[in-house]
């Protein structure tokens, strides 16, 4: 088990703690844990790339830890009524769609690239920003209502576009037309 994988595992283990903190209205602690998790993601990636510690386990574990934290925060903040339920449903549905599509295409043995779409990377960045802004407003009394509203609609738009992009990619892969494009 390499250092980057241990850091990623630590981030994954932060998920239930982050949920617990939000449910107990300890938003400042949840904010700082969320920031620490984000920094740990950058640190494990830096170590893996610059010290030749990339691994197959890390390549699988890292996105799982990222998605577990983000989806858990969306669901928890939605249940606590700090994010709109429609947005939570959209975010969770898109992620379920991505996992389901990945499994379907892989199970059918169709070759295709699995790199994230550019809009998907933007979507992830916006999702992270929204959780950070919401937690900061709740826990640090930072006035960011306008920014939060803007991020809600930006996350909704990029989530929808990203989900549609993956549907197009998988449809092409399954049809055999330009696999992975």
Class of domain 3-175: mainly alpha
Predicted structure pTM score:
0.89
Give 130-154 pLDDT, tens digit per residue: 999 999 999 998 888 899 999 999 9
Neighbours of 95 (CB within 10 A): 17
- Overall residue count recorded for the chain in this entry: 181
How far apart CA 175 and CA 153 sit, in angstroms, is 33
pLDDT at 59: 85
Cα–Cα distance between 155 and 150 in angstroms, integer?
Answer: 9
* Regions of the chain short of the pLDDT cut 70: 111-113, 177-181
């Amino acid at each position: 088990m390499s250092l980057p994988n241990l850091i990623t595992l630590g981030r994954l283990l932060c998920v239930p703690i982050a949920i617990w903190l939000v449910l107990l209205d300890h938003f400042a602690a949840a904010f700082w844990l969320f920031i620490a998790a984000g920094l740990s993601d950058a640190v494990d990636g830096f170590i893996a790339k610059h010290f030749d510690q990339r691994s197959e386990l890390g390549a699988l574990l890292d996105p799982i830890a990222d998605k577990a934290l983000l989806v858990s925060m969306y669901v928890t903040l939605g249940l606590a009524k700090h994010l709109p339920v429609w947005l939570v449903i959209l975010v969770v549905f898109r992620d379920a769609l991505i996992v389901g599509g990945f499994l379907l295409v892989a199970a059918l043995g169709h070759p295709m690239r699995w790199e994230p779409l550019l809009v998907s990377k933007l979507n992830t960045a916006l999702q992270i920003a929204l959780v950070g802004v919401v937690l900061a407003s709740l826990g640090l009394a930072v006035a960011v209502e306008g920014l939060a509203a803007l991020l809600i609609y930006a996350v909704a738009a990029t989530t929808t576009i990203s989900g549609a992009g993956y549907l197009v990619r998988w449809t092409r892969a399954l049809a055999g037309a330009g696999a992975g494009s």
